[in-house]
Amino acid sequence: MRKQRGISLVELMISITIGLILMTGVVQLFLSSRATFTTQQAISRVQETGRLAMEFMGQDIRMAGYMGCMSRNLSFTNTLDMSGANAGALYSFDVGIEGFDFGTDNDSGDATLPTGYPAAISGTDVLVVRSANGNAIGVVQNNDSSQLFAEDTGVVANGCGAGQSSFSGMCIGDILVVSDCQKARVFQTTNLQQTGSAGTSINVVHSNADATPGNEISSWGGNSNPEETFGPDSEIIRVNTTVYYIAQGTSGRNSLFQQVGSQTLELLEGVEDMQLLYGRDTSNDGVPDDYDTATEVGTDWDSVASVRIQLLVSSTDDNVLQEQQPYTFNGTAVNDPGDRRLRQVFINTIGIRSRLP
């Protein structure tokens, strides 16, 4: 027992010191790995947000003005009631694409901006795209003055909500376009019903019944007017107005919003700003000659053949960088963003298919 002795105080202090040095290295390695992981995760999310934003917007921009097989040079008629509160961008289907320099147009009381969505951030841009984007339904016989005759692909109970059936994928109140590659008409269906002994077709009624927006006229003239006749070579497709803009999201930060008709969706968080330039074909050769802002385009939206998108996307989390990150967006340098978020600028030019060679 006399030969059994513990360590001395000096030995204990040396071992503690060595242990602290080793622990410091381990902690530093952990913190470095965590910082690298946080930064890499932020980069991945920012890139994913930018890619998805471009994908969503690009898909709609490419189809701007699409009305079946109708191009922008063919006869187009909008029979919707555009009076009173219905006037404006939401139902102006004769204009395939339209933009607003928000903060300029809105502050001046521009009544053409769509209503029903949260206030866009002043200084950002708003994009409005109108096109047919549903499944095409064939017309089985010439229309009469008040209804079209669409092929019957099935009736689904409650397909349009509780107590409302869908007929060939259509619902009462849908805004539709009928096109035969020579002409097209946009209208709102006010009634749908099967017809024929075996339900061989669907009657698509377009009266001027009480609806929103409703139809300005209920009679097209039918077979009495070739400009209003749509036969078996025609198709019916649902049309929508899609709006993209930047607004404050549920987290309190800027987000990219998408409004389809009257339905609003916070699409992607972290999109801080959106600036748009519109490629105008001023020489009528199918190739954009100049890229202008919405204010510079004015009312000449038929000349727009492409859209150049600039998005500023930031990480959802702060303090992912060791120091503030200076950046340049839309020609303006920001050296002191006020946080340590990761930011990236995405730029893409997207052509409108029906307006390019």
Q: How many domains does the chain have?
A: 1
pLDDT at 70: 63
**Phi, then psi, of 50 in degrees rounded to 5:** -65, -40
* Residue at 340 is within a domain: no
Q: Could you tell me if 262 and 255 are in contact, meaning their C-beta atoms sit under 8 angstroms apart?
A: no
- Kindly tell me if the per-residue pLDDT of 117 is higher than 60: no
Note whether residue 161 is domain-resident. yes
Does 18 reside within a domain? Answer: no
Q: Give the containing element (helix H, strand E) for 269.
A: strand 263-269
Provide mean pLDDT across the span 134-147.
90
pLDDT digits (tens, 9 = 90+) for 262-295: 788 999 999 999 999 999 998 888 789 899 999 8
- Determine the pLDDT at residue 55: 96
Give 156-215 pLDDT, tens digit per residue.
988 898 888 999 999 999 999 999 888 999 999 999 988 865 558 999 999 887 788 889
**CA–CA separation, 89 vs 96, rounded Å?**
10
pLDDT of residue 312: 96
Which residues, 6 or more positions from 108, have their beta carbon under 8 angstroms from its beta carbon? none
Please give the residue range of the domain that contains residue 223: 137-239
Is residue 100 situated within a structural domain?
A: no
In terms of C-beta density within 10 A (0-12 exposed, 13-18 middle, 19 or more buried), how is residue 138 classed?
middle
What's the mean pLDDT when you consider all of the chain? 85
Q: What is the CATH number of the domain that holds 194?
A: 2.40.30
pLDDT category at 115 given cuts 50, 70, 90 is: low
Q: What would you report as the CA-atom Rg of the chain, rounded to the nearest whole angstrom?
A: 29
Residue 226 CB partners (closer than 8 Å, separation 6+): none
Instruction: Flag whether 64 is in a domain.
Output: no
Residue 328 included in any domain? no
User: Tens digit of pLDDT for each residue in 52-70?
Assistant: 999 999 999 999 989 887 6
Percent of the chain predicted with pLDDT > 90: 43
Tell if the pTM clears 0.75, that is, is over it. Answer: yes
Angle at 208 between CA 175 and CA 159, to 5 degrees: 40
Instruction: Indicate the helix (H) or strand (E) that contains 27.
Output: helix 9-62
Dist CA 165 CA 192 (whole Å)? 9
CA 123, chain centre distance (Å)? 19
Asked whether residue 297 is domain-assigned, the answer is no
In a domain, 172, yes or no: yes
